[in-house]
Amino acid sequence: MVNVLLTGASRGIGAAIAAALDATPGVTLARHATATGLAADFAEPDAPDRLWHAALDRLGGRIDVLINNAGVFEANPIDSDAWLDEWERTLRINLTAAAALSRHAVRHWRDGGRGGRLVNVASRAAYRGDSPAHWHYAAAKAGMVAMTKTIARGYAAENILAFAICPGFTMTGMADDYLASRGGDRLLADIPLGRVARPEEVAEVARFLALSAPPSMTGAVLDVNGASYVR
């Protein structure tokens, strides 16, 4: 059995990853989700610690795979009086919480001597940047990619593998609301594939990395963006 802790499992990409893993024999999933799983608000500094220990209890003391998927995409206009607070909120939820969980995971995997797999859901914004109201989001995702590479390089010899996924626009809500929140029809013109990604497409990549990607792929960052950004 492979024991997986998945954050942000309640909706969007996380719900699709949960469905993909549920459909895979031999996987036991601990879901982090406010209403329907192990609750933890990552705006609270000690929430990742509490979540890690709750997930360990749920999974019988062994976690083999950590998927850091939870995140927020909140606008932070540069003229806002709350700019610094909003910067720190997004960094805490999107990067610091993932780092705290990754630290628990790496220590757990080293102690267990079995290794493990880390999958971080970052964003195209890590490479391309984002809108003027989303400096914090792009910076957090770039940090996540750098953290992933650092873990991959630092612990590969102990069979600890780390991967990142960089989705582009991914249809996670009602289509009209989603497109409006990301700039309307203009965004489609920027995607050679002609459509945004489906959560199931990102989930398939997450499942591959979590369960079967060859170890030599460790440190890889996989794009899922319809060629809207190639690097």
Q: Which is nearer to ligand NAP, 10 or 159 (CB)?
A: 10
Determine the residue type at 19. Answer: A
Q: Which is nearer to ligand NAP, 32 or 117 (CB)?
A: 32
Interaction between residue 169 and ligand NAP (CB under 6 A): yes
Query: Any idea what DSSP says for residue 96?
Result: I
**Among candidates 194, 172, 174, which has minimal Cα distance to 185?**
194
Contact with ligand NAP (CB under 6 A) among 100, 167, 206, 223: 167
Residue 168 CA to its chain's centroid (Å): 13
Determine the residue type at 215. Answer: P
With CB atoms as reference, the residue minimizing the distance to ligand NAP is 12
Contact with ligand NAP (CB under 6 A) among 5, 21, 52, 71: 71
- Find the binding residues for ligand NAP in span 3-22 (CB under 6 A): 8, 10-14
Interaction between residue 121 and ligand NAP (CB under 6 A): yes
Q: Give me 22's structure tokens.
A: 């549920």
Q: Give me 90's structure tokens.
A: 């997004």
How many CB atoms sit inside 10 A of residue 86's CB? 18
The 3-state DSSP class for residue 161 equals: strand
- Active-site annotation holder among 137, 155, 178, 229: 137
Instruction: Mark the segment that binds ligand NAP (CB under 6 A) among 32-40, 110-118, 149-157, 212-220.
Output: 32-40
Interaction between residue 52 and ligand NAP (CB under 6 A): no
Helix extents (H) in the chain: 12-22, 47-58, 83-91, 97-112, 125-128, 135-155, 175-181, 186-189, 199-211
What's the order of all strands across the beta sheet hosting 65-68?
27-31, 2-6, 65-68, 116-121, 160-167, 221-224
Instruction: Mark the segment that binds ligand NAP (CB under 6 A) among 71-79, 108-116, 153-161, 210-218.
Output: 71-79
Total residue length of the chain: 231
Interaction between residue 135 and ligand NAP (CB under 6 A): no
Interaction between residue 34 and ligand NAP (CB under 6 A): yes
The 3-state DSSP class for residue 42 equals: coil
Interaction between residue 66 and ligand NAP (CB under 6 A): no
Interaction between residue 54 and ligand NAP (CB under 6 A): no
> Would you call 127 a catalytic residue per the annotation?
no
**Which residues of this chain interact with ligand NAP, rule CB under 6 A?**
8, 10-14, 33-34, 40-43, 69-73, 93, 121, 123, 167, 169-170, 172
**Catalytic positions, written as ranges:** 137
